[in-house]
Every structure is written in structure tokens, then in C-alpha cells.
Amino acid sequence: MDTFLARQPIFDQNLDIYGYELLFRADPTNIFPEIDGDSATAKILSSTFFTVGIEEVTGNKKAFVNFTEELLLQGTVDMFSSKTVVIELLESISPSPEVIEVIQELRKKHYDLALDDFTWDEKLIPLLQEATIIKVDFQQSNEEEIIKIDKLAKQYGCSLLAEKIETYKEFNYAKSLGFHYFQGYFFAKPEMIQNKDISPMKQNVLHLLMKVFGEDSSIDELEAIISRDVAMSFKLLSYINSAAFFRIAELKSVRQAIAFLGINEFRVFVTVIAVAQLCQDKPHELIRSSVIRARFLALLASELGKDKDIYFMLGLFSLVDAMLDNSMNELMKNLPVSNSLKKALTQRRGELFSALEFIELHEQGEWDLLEQRRLAAEIQEGKITSFYLEAITWADNCP
């Protein structure tokens, strides 16, 4: 049975990435039938990070990892650097003398400790005394509970992390209370749906993308389009002449760059730069997420024998409503994309939407549903996680 790994971003007050919570499939019934859940989790942790490298998954940001009581007592944490991992103490952990002794030793080694899904209970005071971060579930906690936890955090010198933040309204409310960190998918949703006008610059970018992906676009047309954009031309030539490519002679024209990259890689380059322009006033993670989705779906398309270009566009445009703070229905009216793509993004139906669900379920850690989709599509074990990790690495190395 497949093992899965996903990450969910954690932002600071400036909407810069502080770290990622890592989600694992660790159901012993499905993965390691003959061993307990703690051993299963330990195996996933060790095999994932010693094979892939935790830095590859988190981009050298903090990794928030859940640890059970048994894993703490087994000393599993010592496999990871205190500079890399934040230990999330599950709400099921009891503050026994043995547990308190272990976490006191971890604090001496400068590990950060986060109390997950925290709710007030007097018996948790020994954990509060050692914790550095308190995580508060905004979907499960009412205002009175949140304010009480805020006071406790100040009393014990803990930072506050608001999790399951789904809207910018919730983000701004948590920020007003003095929360330090924020986790949830608010950044990947429109701030407000009011069908506002798209700026001429962003309209030009959208039409540029459509033209670049158009089947009838010639190299002459593509050269003319890019040459009119001084910034994009400069980035293209800088990229193609960088150390990433071992070249003897310098390439000096857009046409030479297109010929060198090939039409498919050229499209990818333009896409990444264009998305960055659309997201100028958005968290950088929104760009990364759309690029990761696009690359993941292109890899999935190759596996399924489908059109890589349309799958790439599907991932790219799956977050365009958040990029432009407008409804998907309104945006799709003005974009010359295929009906199948519009159907997937606006009605969330059809073959393309089934592909989009793969990455959405993966991001959310919905492992059981994802496994059902994998089996139904007859995708080989290990491929989904492989695609995801390759997409992360690819996004990190994009121009």
C-alpha cells in the first residue's frame, strides 16, 4: 500500500512562510499491518527524511511534525535537528512524569514544542511551562476560548498559532488578537468575491498565457509577444545564460532562447513568470502552490497518457480566483480556454476535475480518498508521492 506525504504552509504576520506542517499516511491497518501505529509513523519519518531529505520537502523552513507519546519516549525526535523540526505534541499526550522529563530534555537541546489542538485543562500546566507554541483550532474554538488561551500564552511566554484559518477575515481577526503564526487555506481563496475589474496589466498577462499555450502559435508570434515585454525578455535571457545551463556561447535573442529551450519548456518558463506577475500582491506561497499543482498534474498526465499541456494549465488556473480576487465563474467567461477546463474549474465536474482532485486531496491529507482514486486510475504505488516531491523540487528551481 502507498505511503503519502504532504505539507501545509504556516505563515508569519507578514504572510511569509515560517514553516510547513508535514502530514503522513500512518494507518497501520493500511501500511504496515503487523506493527503498531507508532512504529509505522517512525518508519515513515525515517524512510522519508533519510531518503528524500527533510530540506527538500520544506525548502529549508521549519518542519512541524506530530509525535505521539510513545514516539517521544522512544527517543525518535533525536533523529532530527532542533534547527529543522518543531515537535507537535498531540492532544492525546498525558503530562506524565516520564513525558515531562523527556520534553524538558528536548527543550535543553533547543527543540521548539507546539501543543496541537490546545484546549484548556489544568493538568496541562506542566506542558504549558515547556511549550514554545500553542496551536488553536479556529473552527473548533469559540471567541471566549480563544481569548482565554491568548491570556495563557502571554502568561507562559508562548507564541500563538491559529490553525484551520479558511478566510482572510479569520486571518485578520487572529492577527488582531496578537497571533504570531497562521495555518490554513485562506491564502488560496479570494479575499472577497465582488466581481471587481481585472487590471489591464493582469488582463494582458492572462491573454499572454492563452497565446503561449495556443496550438496555432508560431515561433514568430511567440517571439513578438515576449519581445514586447522587456522584463520577461530580460528574465528569459538571464535564465538561459545562467549557470543552470552549460553553454559556451551566450544566447542573445528571444528566438535563440525559444529554439534552445524548445516550445514546451519555453511555455513553462513564461507560465512561471506570468503567474508571478498575477500574484504580485499575494503571498509567495500562492505562486508556489499553483506551480506545484501544474507540475504535479503534468506528471500525472504523462502517467495516464493524457495531454500534459492542458493538465499543466489546469493546475495553473486552479487558483486563479485567489490570484485575482474574483469568482471562477466570472474569470472563465473572459478566458479563451477549453470547455472541459472551464467545466473542471467552475462546475468541478468531468475528467479534468478528477485529475485536479488528486492534488487537492493530497494537499489536504485526505489519504483514504486519494488511495481510492489511485486504485481506480490504476496508478502504480508510490507514484503520487513521487510526483508531489518532484513537483516541489521543480517549483523550488524554477526561474
Mean residue pLDDT of the chain comes to 83
- Superfamily for the 5-188 domain: EAL domain (3.20.20.450)
Name the most confidently modeled range: 95-109, 228-242, 269-283.
95-109
The CA distance from 117 to 213, in Å, is 45
Provide long-range contacts, Cβ within 8 A and 24+ apart, for 143-151: 145/119, 145/120, 146/177, 147/177, 148/120, 149/118, 149/120, 150/177, 150/178
| Rounded distance between C-alpha atoms, residue 326 and residue 349, angstroms | 20
In the predicted structure, residue 243 carries a pLDDT above the cut 70: no
pLDDT number for residue 236: 79
Q: Which residue has the cell 502571554?
A: 154
CB 47 within 8 A of CB 382: no
Q: Where are the domains of the chain?
A: 5-188, 200-396
pLDDT digits (tens, 9 = 90+) for 371-393: 999 999 999 988 998 999 999 98
The pLDDT score that the predictor gives to residue 247 is: 61
pLDDT digits (tens, 9 = 90+) for 262-289: 877 787 777 777 777 778 778 889 988 9
State the pTM of this model. 0.82
Mention every residue, 6+ apart, whose C-beta is less than 8 A from residue 334: 198, 206
Cα gap 264→181, rounded to integer Å: 39
Q: pLDDT grade, residue 34 (50/70/90)? A: very low
The answer to whether domain 5-188 and domain 200-396 are alike in fold is no
- What is the spatial distance between Cα 115 and Cα 117, in angstroms, rounded to a whole number? 7
pLDDT at res. 27: 47
On whether the CB atoms of residues 196 and 265 are closer than 8 A, the answer is no
Q: Which residue has the higher pLDDT, 295 or 274?
A: 295
Superfamily of domain 200-396: Hypothetical protein af1432 (1.10.3210.10)
344: Cα separation from own chain's centroid: 21
Residue type, 235: K
Sign of the Cα pseudo-torsion (274, 321, 58, 181, in order) = positive
Chain segment 103-159, per-residue pLDDT in tens: 999 999 999 999 998 888 788 899 999 999 999 999 988 888 998 999 999 999 999
- Per DSSP, the residues of 305-326 read T--HHHHHHHHHHTTHHHHHTS
Reduce the DSSP state of residue 271 to 3 states and report it: helix
